[in-house]
Structure 1
């Protein structure tokens, strides 16, 4: 016989739980928020995450705690967020390469990028830098290519990981110019820059921001940058397109949340982050870090950008025959 009292109790319990969840969402945030950065301290994603996080905790009235989880071109940190509860208390600051390229080169992804991560807000749009140690004597992309042609397999290059934008761009350069340069993948930009400064690595692609002080001091030489425009902090550094190798696609950093995060939390985060990005002081800070004025997009507009860029970058990765080293 059907137990109607049990059924009523279940319905009442479900209603009470729903009410508690709704009340909790209405009071969001009621505690600290974890902002996962899939890179080491000092890398580009870390710099912009802390910049945004400091401002975000002021307006949300709750601590925003940066949690660095570096390695595997962002796979480790992104996976942690993809598997986190969708309660609004764990968010991610990811570079575009970790979102778009990992699914192509990783033989077995531990999560589904487009199903398990919800786009919240775009944070900037820019290229990356090709740099060299001063001892190489390189001043441009052409100098590096000429040396590599004359010395096959003698010049290694670094990137912040297999499947990173730097890996993708250099593999395209190698194919275009017919040069052989072994790839040295690092767990993050910080380790790569350290080896470049110590002349343990001659050339490498790095993020747009963290090497700027070393370039200004002359400890590293910028050979060029990818993207649609020169960086505001290094206007003298020509784009690769200007130097004859067309690569004008812009990368970005983006804030994501786990699937299941309430829509109202996503919208609130998007609005607060966009208000932060529109501040004059933040625009100036971005320029100092070599990032152009950030675009302001709704969560839905950013989601459309993510879908488009996943298609574009994965197509380029397949053409470059990118693989995990």
Structure 2
């Protein structure tokens, strides 16, 4: 009797567990492998903008690497804030990625207190994919051929209008830094898209502008625009003859960049998988050739933490530059 009782005590719990286990596990949700459906890549710039062109070059090989479509979605406005905010407020499930740039991310964070999202709290850096500067151009009708002749021209035309792709953009801050260092008086005209700015350059509405290196290439080749100087620490591979601001005697060498983000709280495993897949895409010779054609500089593989440090460094630098140039964004 005692042996039977002991046998029941020893075996009954295990038997009950064995009977219940299939039901318990059947009710537990099985996570779908990521990615199991298309991703959307939000671009905070209009169609044809520098960010858009680079994102589209990047989206195709990334689609093949992930074996899911990566659909580019243009959301321009407010120097990138509209698109950044849409990504920041998206579900953190790995199916929304943001392809943004230094101007839209770091400069906005440095200059604005009224953004609808917090750069540090609502967006998670994944990887920096390239570096590069922006290009100062003049119309061929002006005598401007380098920074020295640019300074002479502006001094001869006080309050000269110049264009950029937005208040607080990289081009805006770069021009204000130049004006401050050489005591120049200029008037800023911000544009919503690069296409509108290039149209007004051709129409003579503005004769001086900061643009991305890729967009005006056909106009430069047609000798309608003159490349004057590049920002950043290295010359553009697309315009290797154009000297940097630093090479022409101006104390400004901050690089711009493009990078990938996801909404904060996206699972760490997805962030790391994205980082690894994008890093593999970046070293492909075809992509590097495409980036060079866009005027971009290759960067080494970097972790989310390394990219986050680049962003924080740039926020501090742009904040200091904006303060010295007395730039305020309302």
TM-score scaled by length of structure 1 = 0.90
How many residues align structurally?
307
Q: Distance in 2 between matches of 1:218 and 1:268?
A: 45
> 2:311, 2:76 → 1: CA distance?
22
Q: Cα offset for 1:235?
A: 0.8
State the partner residue of 1:150. Answer: 156
- 1:287 maps to what in 2? 292
Measured at CA, do residues 122 and 139 of structure 1 come closer, stay the same or move farther in structure 2, by a change above 3 Å? same
> 1:113-170 CA deviation, whole Å, 9 max, x = no partner?
01100001112011110011111121112212112112211x1011110110001011
Task: Say which SS state the counterpart of residue 50 (structure 1) adopts.
Answer: helix
Match of 1:94 in 2: 100
Gaps in structure 2 of 5+ consecutive residues: 1-23
> 2:129 touches 2:298 (CA, 8 Å); kept in 1?
no
Partners of 1:95 and 1:222 in 2: CA distance? 22
| Residue aligning to 1:122 | 128
Of 70, 74, 80, the match for 1:68: 74
For residues 86 and 35 of structure 1, the distance between their equivalents in structure 2, rounded to whole angstroms, comes to 13
**Counterpart for residue 277 of structure 2:** 272
Alignment of 1:219-238 (within 5 A): 219-238=224-243
SS of the aligned residue for 1:302 comes to helix
Residue matched to 2:178 = 173
- Whole-angstrom CA distance in 2 between matches of 1:166 and 1:133: 17
Tell me, in whole angstroms, the C-alpha distance in 1 between the residues paired with 2:314 and 2:212: 18
**C-alpha separation between the residues in 2 aligned to 1:184 and 1:254?**
27
Q: Distance in 1 between matches of 2:45 and 2:51?
A: 7
RMSD of aligned Cα (Å): 1.8
The DSSP-based 3-state class of the residue aligned with 1:252 is strand
CA distance in 2, matches of 1:292, 1:36: 22
Deviation at residue 60 of structure 1 after TM alignment: 1.1
Match of 1:45 among 27, 51, 60: 51
Segments of 4+ moved more than 6 angstroms: none
Contact 2:165 2:190 in 1 (8 A): yes
Q: Which residue of 1 aligns with 2:166?
A: 161
Q: Which position in structure 1 is the counterpart of 2:264?
A: 259
Unaligned runs of 5+ in 1: 1-14
Describe the SS at the equivalent of 2:124. strand
Task: Tell me which residue corresponds to 2:137.
Answer: 131
Which structure has the greater CA radius of gyration? 2
1:103: how far off? 2.8
Contact map agreement 1:162 1:323 (CA 8 A) in 2? no
CA contact (8 A) 1:274 1:296 kept: yes
Give the drift of 1:107.
Answer: 4.2
Rounded Cα–Cα distance in structure 1 between residues aligned with 2:148 and 2:210 = 15
- Aligned position for 1:108: 114
